[in-house]
A and B are shown apart, each in its own frame.
Chain A
Amino acid sequence: MSTVPISYYLVLSAILFGLGIVAFVFKRNIITIFMAIELMLNAVNLAFVAFARAHNQLDGLVFVFFVIVVAAAEAAVGLAIVITVYQNRQTLNIERINLLKF
């Protein structure tokens, strides 16, 4: 049974990463911006797994594991911050949270 070329996965991961970046710039809601970051992480993970597969090495998978764990931690703290921000400013629009300037 034939196999899917590695480059397909890589291209897919590149596309997802690009979309993640677009979302990162495009979205206004803090939470969705977070999601954009998560999306980028996922894209990178895909690349990791693909390479791990390509080179028959487990390190890539281990890295994915770590990435996921760190992402979890980041999400926990980040969302806590989001909640605090919302409690203080009553908005999630990142463009309205612009006190920190000049």
Chain B
Amino acid sequence: MSLPFIVFFLCAFLAVVGALTLILAREPIHSALALVLVMVSLAVLYLLLGAEFIAAVQIIVYAGAIMVLFVFVIMLLNAGVEERTDYSKLARYAGLPLGMFLLLALAHWMWNSFIGKQIANGVGGSNASVSTRELSAQLFQKYLFPFEATSILILIAILGALVLAKKDE
């Protein structure tokens, strides 16, 4: 049992727990915190996979911006305990079984299709970490146009959010 395994299983456990909490918690804020937990543990997993930059971005953007936004909105609307209504019969009876089926199917599929042939190079262990320089090279050369496109997308999103959220007088 070596360090990466410990870290992995720890984070995996935390992530799953977080996800479950997200589902079961009735206070939206608890769900939000649970999701933050998931994200942070995922970030650690990214570190384990040697993607430091992505890990940092994951925390900064997801945990530090998006989820803060969620928490902020929850506070703003003072969203109380979620009421477990069941007007949708379909969701009530079919939803969970289907979801669970999908979960198991995917997991089983992944397991069977990849457990057999492990890709040889050292997966795990942050010894061979991706340098930010290479990543940025990729981003600004090979994927320049998508990058610009996303920037425009962000701009539009900002404007849209403004238009939507502003009080119409």
Contact = CB atoms under 8 A, between A and B. Distances in A.
A93 B85 CA distance: 8
Contacts of A22: 23, 95-96, 99-100, 103
A8 B110 CA distance: 9
B66 A32 contact: no
A61 B65 contact: no
Contacts of A50: 49, 123
A59 B134 CA distance: 11
Contact of A62 (B77, B115, B119, B138): B138
Bin the interface of chain B by size: 35 or more
Interface in A1-60: 1-29, 31-32, 34-36, 38-39, 42, 45-46, 49-50, 52-56, 58-59
A35 B70 contact: yes
Contacts, number: 258
Contact of A1 (B2, B73, B98, B115): B2
Tell me if A's interface is mostly helix, strand, loop or mixed.
helix
Given A1-B4, A70-B153, A75-B66, A25 B20 contact: no
A46 B22 contact: no
Contacts of B115: 5, 7
A65 B132 CA distance: 12
A38 B62 contact: yes
A93 B138 CA distance: 43
Bin the interface of chain A by size: 35 or more
Nearest to B162: A80
B161 A7 contact: no
Interface string B106-136: 1101110011001101111101001000110
Contact of A19 (B87, B103, B142): B103
Q: Which of A21, A79, A86 has the most chain B CB atoms closer than 10 A to its own CB?
A: A79
Nearest to A41: B62
Contacts of A13: 110
Contacts of A7: 110-111, 114-115, 118
Given A28-B85, A32-B22, A35-B35, A8 B15 contact: no
